[in-house]
Structure 1
Amino acid sequence: MFVRTFGWSFGVSAVALVAAFLYGGPQALFLALVLGVLEVSLSFDNAVVNARILERMNPFWQKMFLTVGIVIAVFGMRVLFPLLIVGLTAKLNPVEAVQLALAKGPINEPGTYAYVLHHAHPQIAAFGGIFLLMIFLDFFFEEREIKWLHWFEIPLAKVGRMNGASLVVGLFALALIGLLSGSELQGPVLMSGIFGMVTYFLVQGLGELFDTDVSGEIDADDIPAMAGGTHGKGPGKAVLVAGKAAFMLFLYLEVIDASFSFDGVIGAFAITSDPIIIALGLGLIGAMFVRSLTVYLVRQGTLDEFEYLDHGAHWAIGALAVILLITIGVEVSEIVTGLIGVLFIGAAFLASIRRNKQRASEPEPAHTT
């Protein structure tokens, strides 16, 4: 199972490291390896969330995530996205943006690719932070039978009974970061945050346009519930979606995946500004291993066996959202960003093990005839 699932990742990583060595020698090989490790450490919580959504899809759409999805992750987010941001920020056409990227240059030198992208960070952080915050709020504002951190999750579920609770909290957070970002950044930060919120509700709302459930089992507008793992016929049984509903779930998954990658893309420029090395390290090595880890979690049924992992992953999402919003005004180390997700997942995993042991030690209820 392990070799079959991770075989492609090891193979692609080997090719990427060879390409990095041929491109820039031992230094480029080392940087690509460091970036790959960085991406995996930052995205472990991403793999858990991806796995919960992916297990709701039929085999065809799972393959789509691993083929088309990896192309979007590698070339869309690790190559085209930085070029797009630099082009828009510096008012450059695509050819000029590519030329600027290939020219390299340090992050503290005005006019360089790394410098322009670094200074676009507040807008990127506002978009990704608000989008991830809405995911966190919608998950914990929903009443759930299973709760991990009861002392906090029960009050959140009570707040969620209010209509539009996530929207109210999201708008309050957006207004707060707008006030704290300063007069120069206030406009761009607020607009980016609004786009992040609109994107979240758009992905959900589009489900109504695809509400064509021929099977009568599940609709595309149930995407948030499916993503949270609340749909199924009986305990532990998931309804596999197909067709237009699966397509909407695929789009939802790609937007979440992209939002998780923001911190890795920005953090990579603290290590190198070379777009080729970033694409090899973050994309081919890191993104491939994250996808393999996602598939491994699905095939092993880990999320059902360790029931608090969902909660741990969404607490990590909330923490990442807060960190992204904080980084608009304060620099936060990528080590902190990566470790906080791992800590939440690790704590949830250990809590799940304890819960399973408690269940195993409990006496079975007596059967009466």
Structure 2
Amino acid sequence: MDLLTGALIVVGLVVFETISSIDNAIINADVLATMGQRARRWFLIWGLLFAVFVIRGVLPWLIVWIATPGLGPIEALTATFSEDPRVIAAIEESAPIMLTGGGTFLVFLFLHWLFLEPKHFGLRGERIIIRKGIWFYAVASIVLLVIVWICIQTNPMMAFAAVVGSTGFFIVSGFRTNAEQAEQQLVEGKTSLSDWSKILYLEIIDATFSIDGVIGAFAFTLSVPLILLGNGIGAFVVREVTIRHVDQVKKYPFLKNGAMYSIAFLGMIMLMDGFGFHIPPWVSPIFTISIVVFFLVRSIRYNGMAQVNDPAAAFPDLFSIADEPSPENGLIPDRNDK
């Protein structure tokens, strides 16, 4: 790996980690506002170090180590920089398994957002799809069936990894849904917790939201040090957003769309790589940055139109913005709409 490619990968990781953690930053800011000064300072210093070195450092290292039984703990950390033929062969053998499991997780994550989650409509067709949200389970099942069938022809362990990826998605999704409901109760004052309990809650929230970034990082590289560097810098950016810029970030309605379409793209890249289509390392960072910039520009354009007149003039039948989801604005399906 040359220096330019490595730098491009790190930049792509920083952008992806930042954009995929926007929801996490908003939740952190809302909960921190209910805490005392000492607890806030403790979380923003020590909580961040835990998030960077434990979640974004140890987790990818564990994934590589567990998926590659032939490597020791140090070899798993430095594998992609090693010239040892045994280490290279072990990584090449285990890479399709890791990529298939991670790709399945990311594709399921995107489909869940596309079919079921409230959103600002950023592309044509999203409004129609969310009105047919019940189809998520059928589509996800068919996608898993196809992935497993393809994997069985090549390596049964890849098929098992795909099932692990889908199972991991549903487990993480359940934790995340429960955490978001708990966050709403905390902000509204319906639940009474000590500041230290809130810190523990925020660490759990960060862990569940960080899994997206950690798994997506493998679409960029299998190098644990590069993942730690890119995701670590991204985590510091998210901290800055949490402290100073969360209100500004909320003004860009389509950043979440950029994150989710990036996740979809990276999931497909991982699956294609796992199936033997060797994707150049520059593809993931270039396309991730391009997708994020595309939706950032759409957000800026939307905000500009909103200041002068009805933004629907610029985006007819494309976007729906509302504080609360309802069948009328299309953010949740109408049960009578068939």
Q: TM range, normalised to the smaller chain?
A: 0.7 to 0.9
Deviations 1:11-39 (A, max 9, x none): xxxxxxxxxxxxxxxxx9x74x8535412
2:260 corresponds, among 306, 314, 318, to 314
Shift of 1:311: 0.9
Shift of 1:292: 2.4
Structure 2 counterpart of 1:155: 128
CA contact (8 A) 2:60 2:214 kept: no
2:87 paired with 1:119: no
CA RMSD of aligned residues (A): 3.4
CA contact (8 A) 2:17 2:235 kept: no
TM-score (norm 2): 0.73
2:181 paired with 1:222: yes
Q: How many Å separate the matches in 1 of 2:65 and 2:119?
A: 44
Structure 1 counterpart of 2:53: 71
The 5 A counterparts of 1:85-104 are 85-86=67-68, 88=69, 90=70, 94=73, 101=79, 104=82
Deviations 1:164-207 (A, max 9, x none): x433322222221222235231x212211111121222233347
1:303 corresponds, among 234, 244, 249, to 249
Q: For the structure 1 residues 178 and 322, does the alpha-carbon distance in structure 2 shift closer, same or farther, using more than 3 Å as the test? A: same
Q: How many Å separate the matches in 1 of 2:264 and 2:216?
A: 11
Q: How many Å separate the matches in 2 of 1:321 and 1:99?
A: 23
Deviations 1:200-257 (A, max 9, x none): 222333479xxxxxxxxxx53638x98xxxx987xxxxxx993564343122123223
Structure 1 counterpart of 2:25: 54
Seq. identity, %: 15
The 5 A counterparts of 1:120-199 are 120-142=94-116, 144=118, 146-149=120-123, 151-160=124-133, 162=134, 165-181=135-151, 183-185=153-155, 187-199=156-168
Q: How many Å separate the matches in 2 of 1:147 and 1:114?
A: 44
CA contact (8 A) 1:77 1:261 kept: no
Q: For the structure 1 residues 184 and 155, does the alpha-carbon distance in structure 2 shift closer, same or farther, using more than 3 Å as the test? A: same
Q: How many Å separate the matches in 2 of 1:100 and 1:247?
A: 28
Structure 1 counterpart of 2:298: 351
1:262 corresponds, among 186, 201, 218, to 218
CA contact (8 A) 1:73 1:287 kept: no
Structure 2 counterpart of 1:250: 206
TM-score (norm 1): 0.67
2:261 paired with 1:287: no
Deviations 1:240-279 (A, max 9, x none): 993564343122123223212212332x4xxxxxxxxx62
One-letter amino acid of the structure 2 residue matched with residue 351 of structure 1:
R
Count of residue pairs brought into register by the alignment: 288
2:10 paired with 1:45: no
Q: How many Å separate the matches in 1 of 2:24 and 2:57?
A: 22
One-letter amino acid of the structure 1 residue matched with residue 58 of structure 2:
G
Q: How many Å separate the matches in 1 of 2:66 and 2:13?
A: 23
